[in-house]
């Protein structure tokens, strides 16, 4: 295992130690023990910057599941490094912020940081894995760990609801993505992303190409909250603010973006890839920004703004795929969309991370996030207000912040889409710049709402749960760093061009050589006029918000996607409950009928359909008269149990069957089995007799009537088992291993009892694990007895 693999799994290793640290150092905030890890990882990944920008990707690999040919291959190229830096860099700031946000006296910090570390490690595994199976394993782990983080305050119904919703939608997409991975393997014979990309020309014409494309995109769309799967993200805001800042600015929701970017070299040649990504992206951009304006909760505004921004990045990746197929425009427009996507990915992480932390500060210091109760905080919280201005104005795409630069590039990509005479973009493509501009107007509006409805206007102290004041410096450090990056990148955008953006672009579009240069001023071009139009119209609409906001009431609530999800979930729950009640009726007899009927149907059909039934008695031993006698005793006793009226007689007959079976073991020279059978039968009969006195009296009318179903099932099971036993005895595919034990039992294990030696030595691990299982079960039973609640509880 290389140092790179260790970097990926280090969060998991630390997660194991967190409960111990929490126990030993109660007086110290657990976050201080966690903070060094993402910082060290960030520094470690920074050391790869020069390597990825000047040489080939760095690949480290070791075999994970050799039988399936699955290797844990870690790969660092420009794209993986960009995401690794975001995951660890933002992760460091989030953990620092959480130390001051979460009280060590009121919160269960051990579980919080375990969940956070699981998520961090899973995200690193996703972006640094070159093997699709390994990537999928980490992908689903992000869904599981985010479920735990969102439901961290599990005593709140909304937290449980949001966690379940995110889990169901993202896991559904993950399973679809797994189907796409299997289809890619069928087409290429490999799980390696690098090797699949090398075969992209071959698989393009394969009939499974489009199904694989659709499955992969479904996984990406659900994870990155693209319309109509975006509904899980607003409900995920029930998580603590540090979680929201981490998951929804730089990690969880960016996983789908990463997947689309990583798989673009494989699928970008197909028109469906462009239209699905760009189409769903632009619709998500509009719907997210439009929906954000009507929200009254600060985190809800940020949630829908995240949906909108993710749609923007996704649409840019789609348009970037189209640029690969057209040579009729200026070279600089070939890569402008993909460059804007990567650049805005970085910018969004900075301004959105700071805004989430600002909202957390407002909530922490006032006790509410409702903008109807807020206002007038500018003088009381001047630093927080300044941070809000920087983040919101960048999100709105205003100069001189970094969001303005990537938004201008976005406008450039959208306005030149009609120049592409491929995939009918020269016709339907006109919708993209129109929708993009309208969505940008709404983006401007909700950005202004976020700032001015919170910090300006009249202070309403009677509506606040706490007396507002500025946050402690420890809580301000992280958003200050992120806001500083917003300004620094805004003024000096090219500090990232050569070492970060260009290597990432090379991974997404390996056919192109990139020279990224980002500048503020391009003259009075169309993009600048579009920005001026956004500011003018956005300002007018913001000032007249109360007059036109009523349009949101025109949308029927019953047609909302959340309603469809709730009704669908309720239908599934009720349907499954009704179906379950059909066969789970509380009758053990019914359950046994289901089990044995299935047993008979499946095994008998396989036995005869596969021509597996065979009887060869050539090597069978002769049946002796006393064996026939013993069989007769067993049969007579078994049948007699069905007809006797006395419970005592039934117990005696049942014991007769057991003791006769023990005589068979004695006859076949298996004293261990005979002794075990005798002990079990003795205990069983004794227990029956001990509780015999306490059994209720059995009246004649309570006797079970004869049922033909019982007879058919019992005869069927006996017949099938007999046929399988005879066929197994008559079919010898391999030489018996018994001779090996005969020859080696004494020489290898120094034991004369072959059965004991097999159990203890040759199959020692089986016996050990059986003992472990019994020990675990015993501990569980003991725990349930010790923790048993009294009364109604």
pLDDT over 90 (residue 427): no
Tell whether 253 is covered by a domain: yes
Query: Domain residues for 561?
Result: 554-584
Tell whether 250 is covered by a domain: yes
Same structural domain for residues 465 and 559?
no
Tell whether 598 is covered by a domain: no
- CB-based contact 359:352 (threshold 8 Å): no
- CB-based contact 501:516 (threshold 8 Å): yes
Q: How do the residues of the chain divide into helix, strand and coil, expressed in percent and rounded to 5?
A: 75, 5, 25
Give CA separation, 751 vs 655, 673, 737, 745, 760, in Å. Answer: 34, 18, 18, 6, 10
Same structural domain for residues 441 and 571?
no
Tell whether 336 is covered by a domain: yes
pLDDT over 60 (residue 224): yes
The answer to whether the Cα torsion of 269, 270, 274, 277 is positive or negative is negative
* Predicted local distance difference test score (pLDDT) of residue 332: 60
Same structural domain for residues 514 and 569?
no
DSSP bridge pairs for 73:
61
Strands 70-76 and 58-65: antiparallel
* Predicted local distance difference test score (pLDDT) of residue 326: 52
* Predicted local distance difference test score (pLDDT) of residue 251: 85
**Separation between Cα atoms, residue 491 and residue 498, nearest integer Å:** 16
**Separation between Cα atoms, residue 46 and residue 125, nearest integer Å:** 17
- CB-based contact 516:502 (threshold 8 Å): yes
Tell whether 635 is covered by a domain: no
114-118, 403-407, 585-589, 617-621: range with lowest mean pLDDT: 617-621
Torsion of CA 237, 447, 316, 166, to 10 degrees: 10
**Separation between Cα atoms, residue 30 and residue 692, nearest integer Å:** 59
Tell whether 44 is covered by a domain: no
**Separation between Cα atoms, residue 172 and residue 177, nearest integer Å:** 9
The three-point CA angle 482-487-490 to 5° equals 120
Distance of CA 318 to the CA centre of its chain: 24
**Separation between Cα atoms, residue 305 and residue 403, nearest integer Å:** 13
- Tens-digit pLDDT profile for residues 385-405: 999 999 999 999 998 999 999
pLDDT over 80 (residue 693): no
- CB-based contact 282:311 (threshold 8 Å): yes
- Tens-digit pLDDT profile for residues 620-679: 777 788 888 989 999 999 889 888 877 788 888 988 999 999 998 888 888 878 898 899
Same structural domain for residues 504 and 579?
no
Tell whether 715 is covered by a domain: no
- CB-based contact 371:298 (threshold 8 Å): yes
Same structural domain for residues 568 and 463?
no
pLDDT over 90 (residue 317): yes
* Predicted local distance difference test score (pLDDT) of residue 702: 47
Tell whether 76 is covered by a domain: no
**Separation between Cα atoms, residue 723 and residue 612, nearest integer Å:** 10
- Tens-digit pLDDT profile for residues 5-51: 999 999 999 999 999 999 998 889 999 999 999 999 999 999 999 88
Same structural domain for residues 580 and 466?
no
- CB-based contact 455:381 (threshold 8 Å): yes
Give CA separation, 465 vs 296, 357, 460, in Å. Answer: 17, 19, 11
* Predicted local distance difference test score (pLDDT) of residue 791: 46
Same structural domain for residues 504 and 529?
yes
* Predicted local distance difference test score (pLDDT) of residue 331: 52
The model carries a pTM of: 0.81
- Tens-digit pLDDT profile for residues 554-593: 887 777 888 889 899 999 999 999 888 888 887 888 888 8
* Predicted local distance difference test score (pLDDT) of residue 249: 82
Same structural domain for residues 440 and 580?
no
The answer to whether the Cα torsion of 281, 282, 288, 291 is positive or negative is negative
* Predicted local distance difference test score (pLDDT) of residue 687: 84
**DSSP-derived 3-state class of residue 63:** strand
* Predicted local distance difference test score (pLDDT) of residue 647: 78
Q: How many beta carbons lie within 10 A of that of residue 272, not counting itself?
A: 14
Same structural domain for residues 471 and 569?
no
The three-point CA angle 23-28-29 to 5° equals 95
DSSP bridge pairs for 58:
76
- CB-based contact 97:116 (threshold 8 Å): no
pLDDT over 50 (residue 701): no
* Predicted local distance difference test score (pLDDT) of residue 323: 66
Long-range pairs for 181-186: beta carbons < 8 A, 24 or more residues apart: 181/132, 181/133, 181/136, 181/216, 183/208, 183/211, 183/212, 183/215, 184/132, 184/212, 184/266, 185/132
Same structural domain for residues 577 and 545?
no
Same structural domain for residues 510 and 575?
no
- CB-based contact 219:259 (threshold 8 Å): yes
Q: Which residue has the higher pLDDT, 419 or 557?
A: 557
- Tens-digit pLDDT profile for residues 634-650: 999 988 988 887 778 88
- CB-based contact 420:426 (threshold 8 Å): yes
- Tens-digit pLDDT profile for residues 90-112: 999 999 999 999 988 888 899 99
What are the phi and psi torsion angles at 75 (to 5°)?
A: -130, 130
**pLDDT (average), residues 529-537:** 94
pLDDT over 70 (residue 718): yes
Where does a domain end: 553, 574, 606?
553
Same structural domain for residues 174 and 318?
yes
Number of domains in the chain: 3
- Tens-digit pLDDT profile for residues 263-285: 998 998 888 888 899 999 999 99
User: Within 13 A of 20's CA, how many CA atoms are on the CB side?
Assistant: 5
């Amino acid at each position: 295992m290389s140092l790179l693999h260790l970097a990926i799994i280090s969060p998991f290793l630390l997660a194991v130690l967190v409960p111990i640290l929490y126990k030993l150092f109660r007086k110290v905030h657990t976050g201080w023990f966690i903070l060094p890890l993402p910082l060290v990882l960030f520094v470690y990944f920074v050391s790869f910057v020069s390597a990825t920008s000047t040489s080939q990707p760095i690949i480290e690999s070791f075999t994970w599941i050799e039988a399936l040919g699955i290797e844990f291959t870690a790969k660092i190229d420009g794209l993986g490094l960009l995401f690794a830096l975001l995951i660890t860099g933002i992760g460091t700031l989030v953990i620092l912020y959480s130390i001051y946000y979460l009280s060590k006296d009121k919160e269960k910090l051990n579980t919080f940081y375990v969940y956070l570390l699981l998520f961090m490690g899973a995200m690193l595994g996703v972006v640094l894995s070159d093997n699709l199976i390994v990537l999928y394993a980490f992908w689903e782990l992000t869904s599981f760990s985010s479920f735990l983080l969102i439901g961290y305050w599990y005593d709140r119904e909304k937290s449980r609801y949001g966690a379940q919703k995110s889990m169901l939608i993202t896991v559904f997409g993950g399973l679809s993505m797994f189907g796409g991975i299997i289809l890619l393997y069928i087409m290429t014979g490999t799980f390696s992303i690098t090797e699949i990309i090398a075969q992209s020309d071959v698989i393009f014409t394969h009939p499974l190409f489009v199904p694989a494309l659709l499955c992969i995109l479904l996984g990406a769309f659900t994870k990155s909250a693209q319309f109509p799967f975006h509904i899980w993200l607003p409900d995920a805001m029930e998580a603590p603010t540090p979680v929201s800042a981490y998951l929804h600015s730089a990690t969880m929701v960016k996983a789908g973006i990463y997947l689309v970017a990583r798989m673009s070299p494989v699928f970008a040649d197909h028109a469906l890839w462009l239209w699905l990504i760009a189409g769903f992206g632009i619709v998500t951009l509009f719907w997210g920004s439009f929906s954000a304006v009507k929200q009254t909760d600060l985190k809800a505004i940020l949630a829908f703004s995240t949906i909108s921004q993710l749609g923007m990045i996704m649409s840019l990746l789609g348009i970037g795929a189209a640029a690969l197929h057209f040579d009729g425009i200026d070279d600089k427009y070939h890569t402008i969309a993909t460059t804007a996507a990567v650049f805005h990915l970085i910018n969004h992480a900075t301004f959105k991370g700071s805004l989430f932390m600002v909202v957390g500060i407002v909530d922490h210091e006032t006790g509410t996030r409702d903008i109807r109760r807020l206002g007038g905080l500018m003088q009381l919280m001047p630093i927080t207000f300044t941070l809000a201005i920087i983040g919101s104005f960048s999100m709105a795409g205003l100069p001189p912040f970094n969001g303005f630069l990537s938004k201008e590039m976005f406008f450039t990509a959208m306005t030149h889409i009609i120049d592409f005479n491929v995939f009918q973009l020269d016709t339907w493509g006109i919708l993209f710049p129109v929708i993009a501009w309208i969505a940008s107007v709404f983006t401007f509006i909700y950005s202004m709402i976020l700032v001015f409805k919170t910090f300006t206007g009249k202070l309403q102290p009677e509506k606040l749960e706490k007396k507002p004041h500025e946050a402690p410096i420890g809580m301000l450090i992280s958003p200050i760093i992120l806001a500083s990056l917003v300004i620094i990148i805004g003024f000096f955008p090219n500090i990232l061009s050569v070492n970060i953006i260009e290597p990432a672009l090379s991974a997404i579009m390996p056919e192109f050589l990139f020279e990224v240069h980002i500048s503020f001023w391009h003259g009075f071009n169309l993009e600048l006029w579009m920005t001026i139009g956004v500011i003018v119209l956005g300002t007018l609409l913001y000032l007249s918000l109360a007059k036109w906001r009523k349009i949101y009431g025109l949308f029927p609530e019953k047609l909302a996607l959340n309603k469809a999800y709730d009704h669908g979930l309720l239908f599934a729950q009720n349907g499954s409950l009704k179906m379950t009640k059909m066969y789970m009726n509380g009758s053990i007899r019914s359950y046994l009928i289901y089990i044995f009927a299935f047993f008979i149907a499946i095994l008998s059909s396989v036995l005869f359909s596969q021509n597996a039934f065979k009887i060869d008695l050539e090597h069978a031993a002769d049946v002796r008269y006393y064996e026939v006698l013993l069989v007769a005793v067993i049969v007579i006793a078994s049948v007699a149990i069905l007809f006797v009226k006395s419970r005592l007689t039934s117990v005696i007959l049942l014991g007769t069957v057991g003791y006769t079976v023990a005589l068979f073991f004695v006859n076949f020279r298996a004293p261990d089995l005979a002794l075990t059978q005798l002990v079990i039968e003795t205990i069983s009969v004794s227990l029956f007799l001990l509780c015999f006195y306490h059994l209720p009296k059995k009246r004649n009318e309570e006797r079970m009537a004869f049922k033909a179903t019982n007879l058919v099932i019992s005869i069927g099971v006996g017949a099938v088992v007999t046929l399988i036993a005879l066929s197994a005895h008559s079919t010898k595919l391999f030489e018996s291993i018994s001779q090996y034990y005969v020859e080696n039992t004494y020489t290898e294990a120094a034991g004369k009892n072959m059965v004991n030696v097999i159990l203890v030595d040759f199959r020692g691990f089986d016996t050990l694990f059986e003992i472990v299982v019994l020990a675990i079960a015993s501990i569980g039973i003991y725990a349930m007895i010790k923790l048993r609640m009294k009364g109604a509880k």
